[in-house]
Amino acid sequence: MLKVGLTGGIGCGKSTAVKRFRELGVPVIDADIVAREVVAPGQSALREIVTCFGEQALLADGSLNRSWLRQTIFADRQALQQLESILHPRIRTEIVQRMAECGDVAYAIVDVPLLFEKSYRQLFDRVLVIDCLPQQQRERVVLRDGSDVELVDSIMQSQVSREQRLQQADEILENSSSILDFYNKIDSLHKEYTKFIDT
């Protein structure tokens, strides 16, 4: 089975691509969902976060206090590194396990927004980058989330640059035209990935 890591900058169309791949019957593992599941009540990661950051890391119902934790790590780089040392090994292990459980398929996709930033590259045979023009990213996120442009720009700056993503990609799906055009490109790549495993 071919293991494909899918990534791209904010607003490039990762969710749209994932939706289409799922429609084509491709197993898709969402790293954001995995990240939420590893900190669910009862999980060892949540206990370790409480040990590291204190009881204020929990809400009254025993679940993770995400907004408090977000503010804490935003203000303290060392706290961010501590949190990542707890989370990322577990997320990696879970992704590897879920890929192994995909069964007899030509390929599976793992949607990892911070694939390059958090060094997930080595988990995959191929890296697929969804790309569009930076101005389109801004416009789409503002339209989708109601965010202001300054916030979108700060998020874009926190991610690896577009140039770095494109340089490290095995395949690039350009999403700057119509949805139909984008779907056609995905369908073509689906055929290529399916052939890839047959050769």
pTM beyond 0.85:
yes
60 lies in the same domain as 82: yes
Contacts of 84 (CB under 8 A, 6+ apart): 118
User: Do 50 and 9 share a structural domain?
Assistant: no
CATH of the domain at 118: 3.40.50.300
Into how many domains does the chain fold? Answer: 2
111 shares a domain with 194: yes
Range of the domain at 122: 1-27+105-199
**Each residue's pLDDT tens digit in the chain (199 positions)?**
999 999 999 889 999 999 999 999 999 999 999 999 999 999 999 999 999 999 999 999 999 999 899 888 877 889 989 999 999 999 999 999 999 999 899 999 999 998 998 889 999 999 999 999 988 988 888 888 887 888 788 888 888 999 999 999 999 999 999 999 999 999 999 999 998 765 4
pLDDT at 199: 45
CB < 8 Å & 24+ apart, contacts of 150-158: 152/10, 152/11, 155/10, 156/9, 156/10
112 and 184 belong to one structural domain: yes
Same domain, 92 and 141: no
- So what's the pLDDT on residue 87? 95
Q: Which residue has the tokens 């206090």?
A: 65
Same domain, 110 and 198: yes
Euclidean distance between CA atoms 180 and 103, whole angstroms: 30
| Domain boundary residue, one of 83, 101, 119 | 101
Chain CA centroid to CA 51, Å = 27
Residues 63 and 148 in one domain: no
- Please say which residue of 101, 119, 143 terminates a domain: 101
* CB-based contacts of 196, cutoff 8 Å, min separation 6: 2, 106, 107
Helix (H) or strand (E) holding 107: strand 107-111
pLDDT at 197: 62
Q: For residue 137, what are the CA distances in angstroms to 77, 146, 162, 163, 176?
A: 27, 13, 11, 15, 10
Q: Is 74 found in the same domain as 122? A: no
Residues 133 and 198 in one domain: yes
Q: Say if residue 17 is in the same domain as residue 39.
A: no
Contacts of 105 (CB under 8 A, 6+ apart): 1, 26, 27
Residue 70 pLDDT: 86
Indicate whether 111 and 192 sit together in one domain: yes
Cβ neighbourhood burial of 153 (10 Å; 0-12, 13-18, 19+): middle
